[in-house]
């Protein structure tokens, strides 16, 4: 499987690093990156082929991974218009819909949309994927191998649900970082220095997430197991419940999903149609 990345920034770098660690061959990977310094870095770090433009040599691939910013996508795709044959085109751009990418490619149908999240940068990502009907099962499996190189993957069968994926796992790391910040701030209020509060907060979130991932029990059961009647955890959870913690998170996720829909409209609008 020959893979060409369009855009050699943070996400392409994370994906290529993960792919090579999982046994992909550098000779099968190419990157289109306009900045010479970016091309030099990619070639030096990974021994992959680099191209300054999406030309015929770059398009000679099986999978084209679109790793530019959503706002850069339309211009980045222009050189590929009318020149795609049977490549699978995979967008990792947040918010952009396949209908818009397909329109910018003159109706090209073999499209996959992915929503990775930032833990992909350390190989611990969670990626939601959606494939258009024209993508074969074999092609889907190839795309899944690429994204699985930086974490876990979940296929979604309705593209409209990608805004919900974005709201849960795409934006989700920020909710967790915010929770860590809150725990650190609470630690500081209880008299810990910043380093100690950070170590206690991050270690707890990391350990609890690993326990939730490895345990056969549900998070609810794990929570109940740390909660003795009348104990310290029960006091904290009662305070969270009184402040409507679950509803607060639900409203935050709903706000993210709504924003995702609006951004999808704006990003996919052609010139003069932006909302």
* Contact set with ligand NAP (CB under 6 A): 6-12, 32-35, 38, 67-70, 72, 75-76, 92-94, 116-118
Q: Report the residue number, 76 or 197, with the smaller CB distance to ligand NAP.
A: 76
Which one, 165 or 197, has the nearer CB to ligand NAP? 165
Least CB distance to ligand NAP at residue 213 (A): 20
Tell me the closest approach of the beta carbon of residue 146 to ligand NAP, in angstroms: 13
- Quote the CA–CA distance of 199 and 177 in Å, as a whole number: 13
Strand pairing of 29-32 and 49-51?
parallel
3-state SS class at 90: strand
The minimum distance between CB 244 and ligand NAP, in angstroms, equals 30
- State how far the Cα of 133 lies from the Cα of 16, in Å rounded to an integer: 27
Which residues have a Cβ under 8 Å from the Cβ of 233 and sit 6 or more positions away?
226, 227
- Please state, in angstroms and as integers, the Cα–Cα distance from residue 217 to each residue in 153, 224, 225, 246, following that order: 21, 11, 10, 20
Question: Cβ closer to ligand NAP: 103 or 223?
Answer: 103
To the nearest whole angstrom, how small is the minimum distance from the Cβ of residue 248 to ligand NAP? 25
What is the spatial distance between Cα 38 and Cα 18, in angstroms, rounded to a whole number?
Answer: 18
Closest residue by beta carbon to ligand NAP: 9
Minimum CB separation of residue 216 from ligand NAP in Å reads 30
CB of 91 to ligand NAP, least distance (A): 8
**Cα separation of 59 and 89, whole Å?**
11
Nearer to ligand NAP, 10 or 218 (CB): 10
- Which lies closer to ligand NAP via its Cβ, residue 30 or residue 135? 30
Neighbours of 268 (CB within 10 A): 21
Residue with Cβ nearer ligand NAP (197 or 267): 267
Choose between 26 and 34: whose C-beta lies nearer to ligand NAP.
34
- Residue 244 class from Cβ within 10 Å (0-12 exposed, 13-18 middle, 19+ buried)? exposed
CB contact at 8 A, 54 and 62: no
Q: Which of 142, 74, 150 is nearest to 110 (CA)?
A: 142
Taking the complex as a whole, the smallest distance from the CB of residue 78 to ligand NAP amounts, in Å, to 8
């Amino acid at each position: 499987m020959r893979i060409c990345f369009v855009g050699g920034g943070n996400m392409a770098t994370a994906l290529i690093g993960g792919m090579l660690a999982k046994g992909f061959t550098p000779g099968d990977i190419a990157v289109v990156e306009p900045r010479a310094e970016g091309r030099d870095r990619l070639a030096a770090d990974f021994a992959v082929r680099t191209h300054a433009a999406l030309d015929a040599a770059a398009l000679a691939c099986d999978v084209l991974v679109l790793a530019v910013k959503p706002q850069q996508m339309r211009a980045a795709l222009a050189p590929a218009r009318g020149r795609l044959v049977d490549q699978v085109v995979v967008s990792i751009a947040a918010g952009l819909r396949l209908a818009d990418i397909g329109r910018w490619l003159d109706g090209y149908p073999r499209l996959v949309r992915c929503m990775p999240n930032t833990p992909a940068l350390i190989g611990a990502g969670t990626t939601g994927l959606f494939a258009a009907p024209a993508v074969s099962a074999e092609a889907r499996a190839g795309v899944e191998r690429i994204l699985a190189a930086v974490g876990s993957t979940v296929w979604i069968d309705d593209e409209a649900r990608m805004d919900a994926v974005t709201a849960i796992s795409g934006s989700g790391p920020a909710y967790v970082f915010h929770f860590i910040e809150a725990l650190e701030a609470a630690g500081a209020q209880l008299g810990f220095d910043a380093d100690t509060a950070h170590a206690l907060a991050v270690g707890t979130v990391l350990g609890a997430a690993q326990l939730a991932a490895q345990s056969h029990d549900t998070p609810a059961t794990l929570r109940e197991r740390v909660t003795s009647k009348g104990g310290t955890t029960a006091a904290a959870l009662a305070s969270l419940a009184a402040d409507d913690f679950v509803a607060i998170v639900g409203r935050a996720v709903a706000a993210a999903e709504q924003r995702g829909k609006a951004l999808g409209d704006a990003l996919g609008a052609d010139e003069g149609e932006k909302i």
